[in-house]
Amino acid sequence: MIATLLALLVTAPVSAQVIPVEIWEIQGAGHRSPLLGMDILTQNNIVTAVAGNGFYIQTPQHLFPNRDDGNDATSNGILVFTNSAPGVEPGDMVTVRGQVAEYRAGDASDKNLSITEITNPVVTLVAKGNTLPPPVLIGSGGRVPPGTVINDDSGGNAEDSGTFDHDADGLDFYESLEGMRVSINDAIVTGPTNNFGETWVVGDAGASASWLTARGGIVLTPGDFNPERVQLDDDLYDGDWPELDVGARFTTALTGVIGYSFQNYELLVTDPFTVEPGSLEREVTTLVGSADQLTVATYNVENLGGQAGNSTFDARADQIVNHLLAPDILVLQEIQDNDGSRNAAVVDATTTLTKLADAIERAGGPVYAFAQINPVNNQDGGAPGSNIRVAFLYNVARVTLAPQSTAPDDPSTTPVTFQCDQGVVTPSLNPGRIDPANVAFERSRKPLVGMFEFNGESLFVIGMHLNSKGGDDPLFGHAQPPTFASEQQRHLQAAAIQTAVEQILACDAEANVLVLGDVNDFWFSETLTILTGDRLHNLNALLLPAEERYSYIYQGNSQILDQILVSDGLLSVAEVDIVHINAEYVDQVTDHDPSVARFQFE
């Protein structure tokens, strides 16, 4: 084959304006090409993969060993952008003349990294039927990806600052392989397949991962956002693409080319593979209430509106009854109004909560009452018109919501206050909203506090759903280190909630205070430090091992966004369980795993 190819090699005539180069010279050791904007000619490279609007080529180092520069920092592959279906196929040897470009999806301000490519190409076919360059092995026995650092040396923009450190920085590691054929052995799924056909995996069965869950995921921990994860994409795959839950295991190598899309490097799989789907069972909590034990749960029901059909309510009710075992108090997030996301000035959620309580009864659960406060229309975030809010469900046979003497004309905007009478704390509203006029809660869900009674004991429950992470810089974008702008509002919200906690405990230092919900931040974050203060304790951080601290999976990272915090008196009598029934699965009822806490009341 080599002799035949040598006879067929085309050496195109080169004008004074066109530079003949190898691919590694185009890519350079960095995120942007040193030849950006130049007209170039790269000769006798192999087509490795074909897309609808371009194709990938790679230096045939396996045929001509002297063409590679021997530097792992420079990629030997590149995308040739044709803007329409290219007339080539894998195995073709081609010579390409064109212009070097950096393509960034979106506009100039977008957070994506740019992709080095050849545009306006003139393609000459040299030979067909060539063997493809062997893939670079990512993992044990090959190039091992960084296991902790994504980028630690850029001063704002990774494309034009810092050191290109492909051995230590995950961002630079994958850039050094951009456009090249690679393979991953023994990959396990760490994030379920999404609606775009993307599945997150880690190679070598997670051998280099800091923390693997018992169920196959990889846990996000302080200082380690797991750069060894990689996203699989089906865009170049001809076969049937499976939908996989966490823990599924590939029994053959995954092979394709490294691309970049939607703020992440990805493996565009090209070659057939086999996979064992796995058989994760949805968990059932072990924490059940009794005569002297109270159970409280937090559950993000994901945009549950009154317009939804019975099946939607039944699915959530099944999880509440058969997996959470009907907690005594449920703190719910993302309860929508009666007409859901229809923007019709409806704010009441009586239909929504009644349908959920009825579905729980149909599933064999207890009779629940509900408590909530309607927001001002379109002032609490979420989809326009949905008016999402925090709400309580409570088992009327076991728990009482303490009565309030008077109701305000407008509970939506009236802040709850706490009266102190000889060490006894009483809320002015029950339930009541914490500081609804505070700028911290502008266009965001207001925390809801309720005082419940169980076995002669009072319990203050504060339900929360803090500002989302929307708008934050991506981990694998050009802004390095990434800026998490959304956390500033969460810090203010946490401080407002902590102020309310302090007001309760200032009157009664032994008061039972429980703060729980969707914090949209990690257990080690500054948000949690502010929220915890000096008087609360995070059950997840204190009572669960690191590999169990997850209630949500984003881009293959298992992470805990839903938190349960307690005052001193509850800590010694508390147990906690994150019930893994949603986040790890393609077929999700909601996108969060609920959590249950149990407290002993003598």
**Is the bond into 431 cis (omega within 30 degrees of 0)?**
yes
* 315 sits in which H/E element: helix 310-322
Average pLDDT, the chain: 94
pLDDT: which is higher, 208 or 374? 374
For residue 11, name the pLDDT band (cuts at 50, 70, 90): very low
Looking at residue 404, what is its pLDDT?
A: 77
pLDDT at 405: 66
pTM for the complete prediction? 0.94
Rounded to whole angstroms, the Cα distance separating 532 from 213 reads 26
Tens-place pLDDT, residues 487-539: 999 999 999 999 999 999 999 999 999 999 999 999 999 999 999 999 999 99
Q: How far apart are CA 531 and CA 490, in angstroms?
A: 10
Instruction: Please compute the mean of the pLDDT values over residues 14-40 and round it to a whole number.
Output: 90
Q: Are strands 39-51 and 93-103 parallel, antiparallel or unpaired?
A: antiparallel
Structural contact between residues 53 and 84, judged by C-beta atoms closer than 8 angstroms: yes
**β-pairing verdict for 77-81 and 115-127:** parallel
pLDDT in tens, 412-434: 999 999 999 999 999 999 999 99
Query: Is the pLDDT at 79 greater than 70, yes or no?
Result: yes
C-alpha separations of 184 from 144, 195, 341 in Å: 10, 23, 43
For residue 528, give the nearest of 567, 558, 487, 480 by alpha carbon. Answer: 487
Which of 104, 107, 98, 133 is closest to 116 using CA atoms? 104
Q: Is the pLDDT of residue 107 over 80?
A: no
Mean pLDDT confidence for 84-104: 97
pLDDT of residue 408: 81
Sign of CA dihedral 156, 159, 164, 170: positive
Q: What single-letter amino acid sits at 151?
A: N
pLDDT digits (tens, 9 = 90+) for 546-587: 999 999 999 999 999 999 999 999 999 999 999 999 999 999
